[in-house]
Structures are given as structure tokens and as C-alpha cells.
Chains A and B, each alone.
Chain A
Amino acid sequence: MSEGLVGFLDPEGKVLKGQKVPSLNRKDLLRLYRVMLLNRRVDERMITLQRQGRIGFYVGSMGEEAAIIGSAFALKPKDWIIPCYRELGAALLRGFPLFDLCCQLFGNEQDAIKGRQMPNHYASRKLRFGSISSPVGNQIPHATGIGLAARLTGSKDVALVYFGDGATSEGDFHVALNFAGVYKTSTIFLCRNNQWAISVPRQFQTASRTLAEKATAYNIEGVEVDGNDILAVYSVTREAVDRARRGEGATLIEAVTYRQGGHSTSDDPRVYRDEKEVQEWLKKDPISRFKSYLINDGAWSETKDASLEEQIKDEIEVALKKAEKIGPPCIDTMFEDVLDTVPWNLEEQREELRASQEYESVQQDR
């Protein structure tokens, strides 16, 4: 367990005294910034869309972009990402096409998961971006298993799993860390400590001083990092990934960050939390901090930023317009993928649904 919060940048994007930022080339830095901004603008757009009733639901990640994107950036494309529902940024970084993401939100015919899940539950086997489950914490042991399988088969692949502070209360979290410790699996547990689990504040989840210190009991590495400092998140995750590849086992990273918005479009956070707290955290916004850093560094300018904003806006509108026009999947798909083949009872039920639809149209004509 390393002591204290790792961080390189102050809220104004200046490098803290005595800290050295990781050496990333300009192309990478700008790519990170672009994905962060895209993530933010997609979230904002989709929340508006939900308010207009054009999609059913949405979970944003405003404020947590550095934690999500910085950590995912430490992986190679072959490594596995096991996401929770807020990891849009990790998907975008992996190259998940915006159009495909929009199709999932609409649950339309082009949606890779055939309209079966609520918005934000993307999946891509090709990108090694796992299938998202709503139950909190369920995915954590899967990453232990993937990390174990990699080790058993002599592969250098690692698994990075995301979850919130609330998830550390679930049994699955503890089981996952324990197995990871016992088997020295190639797993990185990335806890986005955004301070809230819906309306329940972090201090109600655990009496532990930090979440990272929970690693100690399982004898895996534990690190606490400023989750709004993308360079710091990248750096500690990169170290964890390197350790895992060397066969030195798993790491729990606590990225200390903040959920700037509601839990989802279903709640109004003003009912349960103090607006002053929100304002304090907005000052530490990960995107404006990184932007200032880039400008200070001479890598970016307000003019370039304005044109990037325009580009992103267009990109989102194009994907959205195209996706919104597409109709629902073929209704028969509802009965597929339950098992590898469709058993007799589902054949019958598919027929039953067809018959009732025909019946309905006959009735309407009557």
C-alpha cells in the first residue's frame, strides 16, 4: 500500500512542486483531451435527449472522465476492459464508434446487443470491452477470472475492471480481491470513488479511512490517486499494468473524483446533497484542468479548442441523426441468444407472439 494521494497537477493545471509528469508525446496528450471532451459533450447531449423523451434513460460520467480515460489509456488494445455503466470514455478511447453507441441508446436494429438492454449497457467483444451488467459489483470477480486465465495460459494480457465506491460494499468486490491475492492475477481494480452511491455518501459505505487501504488485507497493491488528474491516473495505472505483466499480481486503485451530475437521469441530486460541495468539486474539474495544462505546455490554444468543440458537436449530431432514424430490431430476435439454439418452448412462444400480433391487426380491421 503506497501512502497518500498521488497527483501531479494542481486544479489550475500547473505541475505540483517536486512532481514529474509522465512523458507522453503531444499526439497522445491531445488524443486524451479529445476523448475527454467528446465524452463530456456526448453525456450532455444525451441527457438533453433523455429530457426530450427521445431516449429512455441515461447515465453520465461528468467529472469522472480523467479517472476513466486515463486508466484505460494505460492498456494495450488486447487487454480487457470490464466496465461498469459509466465507462463511455473508455469505450470511446478504444475506438467504439459513436454511431454504434447511439444505436445502443436507441436499442435499434443496428444495436450490437439487439435492443436488449437499457441505455449505457454497451458491449464489444471485438474491442475486448465487456458486456455491462446493471447489478452493482457483479463484474468485479470476472476481471479476477480473466486475469487468472491470462496467467494460467501464459499470456501477458491484463484485465481492468471499473466500479464505484458503493460497489466496494458488495461481497463480490471482496471475493474478487481475495481471489486476486491468492492467485496473483493480472487484474487492475479501478474504483471510481465519486463520493456518492446514488444518495448515499462515501462515508456511509465503509468505516475504512480510504478505499485503497482495503487492498492491504488481501495483500495486493493499493494506490490512491487524484482521479481528476488524468496524468496521475494514467501513471499509477501504467505501473499497475506493468506489475501485472511481470507476474507480480493485482492492484486496487482508488481514483478520488466526483460525480458532478445526478446518479442518472432518474434522480435530482439537489434533494440529497449540498450544492456547496458540488461547487467545490467543479473547481477541480478534470477537463478544464487538463486543458489548462495543455495550454501552459504550449500544446493547445483556445482557438484550437473552439474548433475542436465544433468538430465534436458535428460528429455527435451526425451519429445521432443517423441512429435515430433506424427502426427497432426484428421482433424475432427477442427469442434468440437465450441459448445457442432456440428450444421448443421459445419456438412456440415466438409463434404465439406472431399469432397474437396477427390477431391484433385482424381485430383492428374488424
Chain B
Amino acid sequence: MPTINIIQAVNDALRAEMKRDDRVVIMGEDVGKFGGVFRATQGLFQEFGSDRVFDTPLAEAGIIGCAIGMALYGLRPVPEIQFVDFIYPAFDQIVNEAAKMRYRSGGQFTCPMVIRAPSGGGIKGGLYHSQSPETYFIHTAGLKVVMPSNPYDAKGLLIASIRDDNPVIFLEPKSLYRAARGEVPEEVYVIELGKAKVVREGEDITVVTYGAMVRVALEAAETAAEEDQFSVEVIDMRTLLPYDIDTVIASVKKTSRVVIVHEAPRTCGFGAELSATISEKALLHLQAPIFRVTGFDIPFPYTFEHHYLPNETRILKALRDGMDF
């Protein structure tokens, strides 16, 4: 099995789906000849031509609005937003149009499309190349929201997203684009949306996380195991909407302690939703408050990005606080 990174896995998935289904069309800024600023669409323009892979004018509202029309007509657009920080001009089209199309037309019209966007910090991108705005979309009925943490999942989840009949926001943790490498089968496979994965089994405390924070959480879990002999379970949510509450609750019932980790700001972040739902469904199983380790409630800073991002120390501290409670 070849060892590849997330960019290559995304590229693989796109190529495979374009071969399988000629309704799949890629559009966005710099995705054509150049192959995208992160090179996720590299080679696809050359392989499939300018009717299937094309550069758009620099207008996110245009990209998504147009993709909606194409989806209504029967194509399967996979628009790229160059950085998720630049998705907001398209926010109206996503929230008021793509997300509500099926509902408001009584199921007559649908918008099957995958909006791919690099997300998150860690590349010295400052305020506008680092944001983690998943909450805006998780808060929007009618969307699916997906975020892989490794190349294997990236490929399987992206293929599943392209085949899905709903609009999917596919957030790619850009700090891992080249950093996360792993074995990925050459053949096509899907990873069902809406299913979390227990990436480390444990008995004492559960970490619920996703995206770039999965690795950091796993490192903290290793350290806690070595230094404190804690047995830490780590769950990678993978799909944030609709999310896999069963896997989370099963783990909480086993460990009775929870730490939630994400790099997005804390207030009303996905952790708030998870925390509320866990307390509704499993309060009497809990031995400690649910702790959150998150980005701070500030715009994403430049110089202090590594103080902003949750790190192993902060997670470790939360694990110990949870265990000591």
C-alpha cells in the first residue's frame, strides 16, 4: 500500500470520482492549470480538461451560487474555497440556498455538492489563513460537515461526500496536508459519513476531538499513559454533522470522564454542543465535569499562534484535572 499525505489522498479521491462519474466537476480559484494553491487538484485539469476542472473568477458567492445551479441541473460540483477563511462571501448561498433547498421545495430540488476548504491554523497564516469556522455550518440544518484527520480517512470520507446527496462542507486540516502521512489503498473505498472512530482505546477517560487535534490528543494520551498510567480513549469524530453521538456516549459510559479538544474558539464551539448532549444523555455516568481544551475566544493571532492552538500540555493538564476531580 502506498504511503501518501492528505493532499495526495484528496487528489486521489477526486480523480477516482471524476473517472467514475462524469457529472463530477471541479471549480474554484487557481484549481485549473495551477492545481490549487495547496496542489490538491494537481494534474486534474490536464487529465480531464477545462469542462471538468476550471478556474473561476475571484468570487466565492459566484463559485457557490453557480455550483448550486449546476447541482440543481444534475451535475456533482466539487467547488474549492481556497481557504475556509474566504468562504463568507458565499455564506448566504450556503446557508440560505444550498442548505435549505431540499426542505423548502418539499424534497423536489436537491444540492448534492462538496465544498472543499482548507481549515485551521498552524501554518503561520494569521487571522485570515487559520480560521476554524465549522460551528457556523454545524449550526446550519441541511448541511453535512466533515473533517478528516489522516490520509486514509480523507480519501474515504471525500469519496463518500461526493456520492452523498446532500451539500457537504469538507474541511481539510491544512497543517496536516503534508505532515500527516499514512498508508492508503490505491483502490476506491468509502467511509460512511456520520461515523466517529475510536482511534485509541482506553478505560479511564475519553478525549473527543477531530481534525488536526487528533494527533495532539493522541500524543497527550501516550504521555498520560506513560507518566500517569491513565488509560485514555481517543475518539476522532470525522463527521461533525450529523455527528455520531452513539460512539461518544458508549465511551463516556465506559470511562465516565470526558475532555473535548478542538482548535476552534470555545464559546459555542462544537465542544459546547457535545458537552450539552453528553450531559443530557449520560449525566449520571459522569464522575467529573466535561473539560474543554480549545482555541481562545479571540481572532486567530499571528505571532502567538502556537499559544493559541491547544497543545499537549493543555490537553494533559485537562486529562489530569479530569482524573483528579
Contacts and interface: CB of A to CB of B under 8 A. Distances in A.
Contact of B297 (A117, A349, A363): A349
B50 to A, nearest CB: 11
A116 B303 contact: yes
B288 interface: no
Given A116-B299, A349-B297, A200 B29 contact: yes
Contacts of B298: 334-335, 338, 346
Nearest to A166: B58
Interface string B129-141: 1000000000000
A359 B313 CA distance: 8
Contacts of B30: 198-200
Contacts of B316: 363
Nearest to A133: B128
Interface in A326-352: 328-329, 331, 334-335, 338, 345-346, 349, 352
Nearest to B55: A200
Counting chain B CB atoms within 10 Å of each CB, the highest count among A267, A352, A355, A356 belongs to A356
A17 B60 CA distance: 45
Contact of A345 (B55, B267, B307): B267
A266 interface: yes
Interface in B1-49: 29-30, 32-34, 37
**Chain B interface residue number, banded:** 35 or more
Given A135-B85, A334-B304, A116 B313 contact: no
Interface stretch (A168-176, A180-188, A234-242, A249-257): A168-176
A356 B317 contact: yes
A354 to B, nearest CB: 10
Nearest to B88: A135
B57 interface: yes
A24 interface: no
Contact of B126 (A116, A170, A199, A206): A116
**Chain A interface residue number, banded:** 35 or more
A211 interface: no
Contact of A266 (B37, B57, B59, B89): B37
A115 interface: yes
Nearest to A207: B57
B304 A356 contact: no
Interface in A111-133: 114-118, 121, 133
B89 A359 contact: no
A170 B58 CA distance: 6
The SS class assigned to the B binding surface is loop
Interface string B158-186: 00000000000000000000000000000
Contacts of A266: 37
Contact of A170 (B89, B303, B308): B89
B86 interface: yes
Contacts of B299: 116, 338
B200 interface: no
A318 interface: no
B124 A204 contact: no
A360 interface: yes
Nearest to B57: A169
Nearest to B61: A171
Contacts of A346: 296-298
Contacts of A331: 304, 307
B29 to A, nearest CB: 7
B128 A135 contact: yes
Nearest to A201: B55
Contacts of B86: 135-136
B314 to A, nearest CB: 5
B321 to A, nearest CB: 10
B297 A345 contact: yes
B301 A116 contact: yes
A304 to B, nearest CB: 40
B127 interface: yes
Interface in B297-325: 297-299, 301-304, 307-308, 311, 313-314, 316-317
B298 to A, nearest CB: 5
A89 B59 CA distance: 27
6 contacts: A56-B302, A116-B299, A135-B128, A167-B58, A170-B59, A197-B58
Given A199-B34, A272-B33, A349-B296, 9 more contacts: A56-B302, A107-B303, A108-B303, A116-B303, A117-B127, A134-B85, A349-B266, A353-B307, A359-B313
Nearest 8 A/B pairs, CB to CB: A115-B303, A199-B34, A134-B128, A169-B57, A118-B126, A166-B58, A107-B303, A56-B124
Interface of A: 56-57, 107-108, 114-118, 121, 133-137, 166-167, 169-172, 197-200, 204-206, 266-267, 271-272, 328-329, 331, 334-335, 338, 345-346, 349, 352-353, 355-356, 359-360, 363
